[in-house]
Amino acid sequence: MKALVYEGKETLEWRDVPMPVAAAGEHLIRLRAVGICGSDMHAYLGHDARRPAPLILGHEAAGIIEDGPQAGRRVTLNPLVTCGTCTACLSGRENLCPERQIISMPPREGAFAQFVAMPERNLVTVPKDVPLAKAALAEPLAVSWHAARLGLEALHPSMDRRALVIGGGAIGLAAALALRAMGVEEVTIQEPNALRRAFLAERCGQRVSEAAQMHWPLVIDAVGYAATRATASAAADPGGVVVHVGLGDDTGGLDIRRMTLQEITFIGTYTYTAQDFRDTAQAIFENRLGALDWIDQRPLSAGADAFRDLRLGRVAAPKIVLDPWS
């Protein structure tokens, strides 16, 4: 099969690789859509020690079961492969499984390829009327869905359901969409880039703001750097909640004195539970997360160009989705 292989810093090559082999309980999936994540970009730039070259990146994928009795079933892929037997898995917090793996990180190859092998329990059926490119958004949207859910669960019942989202990339936009789907009526996305702001407002119908605004019961930091954490810990109301998604700076930024004197809660979040993934997919299928018509679709064979364009800030859309067969 063909795959887009990460060969080293800023180098991707579209070339032949061996077909993946489905283990017991797994299916071979013919991939039809796979999104580019910030973490793929991070690895592409040589900044992720967990993803050494050569490696097939990509973990936001949808496709079709290739063979066996279920051949032809259209599915979106939960890329998080967990043991299913530990306390975390058994309590519905699979993302905390100590054995967790994710495709695109050794020992599992990723989905920037024509095929991938996935366990049966990681597959969610996609209805006929939902395009696979849209279904591939389940993964990034689930990250934000999970963050929004944890934030709202931690919020004291006396507080208003109003939220600030810091960062207008795919995760920030998805967090705003998830919050709205969960009944939060007032959501503002803070985004310094004017072009991105305009896109969010005009194409995605979001309320946007350039500068930091204060006084939010819930703040979702969808960027994850010290500077955005400083903004988040200043913008949260007394007794409020900051939810953190992202792996920018490892430390710093939080105003711990204010968080202590004003009892602000900080929640680190990573990926999603299996239930969050299924709930997100269902919300997509039922159009509860909006039209999701802001995807930039391209062939995977031209994936190297897509990464370059992203790197150079030439992409207005929050998400590029690649097709391995076009």
Of 138, 169, 79, 124, which Cα lies nearest the Cα of 289? 138
From 20, 35, 168, 246, residue interacting with a copy of itself (rule: CB under 8 A): 246
From 8, 54, 84, 268, residue interacting with a copy of itself (rule: CB under 8 A): 268
Q: Which listed range, 18-26, 135-143, 199-207, 267-275, lies at the site for a copy of itself (CB under 8 A)?
A: 267-275
Q: Is 128 in the site for a copy of itself (CB under 8 A)?
A: no
Q: Which residues in the 212-241 window bind a copy of itself by CB under 8 A?
A: 224, 229, 238-239
Q: Is 272 in the site for a copy of itself (CB under 8 A)?
A: no
How many other CB atoms are found less than 10 A from the CB of residue 312?
A: 8
For the chain, what's the residue count?
326
Q: Which listed range, 26-34, 116-124, 179-187, 262-270, lies at the site for a copy of itself (CB under 8 A)?
A: 262-270
Q: Which listed range, 19-27, 52-60, 163-171, 268-276, lies at the site for a copy of itself (CB under 8 A)?
A: 268-276
Nearer of residues 158 and 183 to a copy of itself, judged by Cβ? 158
Cα separation, 175 vs 116, in Å, equals 28
Cα separation, 114 vs 324, in Å, equals 5
Encode burial over 172-198: b for 16+ CB neighbours within 10 A, e otherwise.
bbbbbbbbbbbebeebbbbbeeeebbe
Number of residues located near a copy of itself, criterion CB under 8 A: 42
Binding mask 151-170 vs a copy of itself (x if CB under 8 A, - otherwise)? ---x-xxx------------
Nearer of residues 8 and 106 to a copy of itself, judged by Cβ? 106
Q: Is 5 exposed, middle or buried (0-12, 13-18, 19+ CB in 10 A)?
A: buried
Work out whether strand 216-221 and strand 208-209 pair parallel, antiparallel, or are unpaired: unpaired
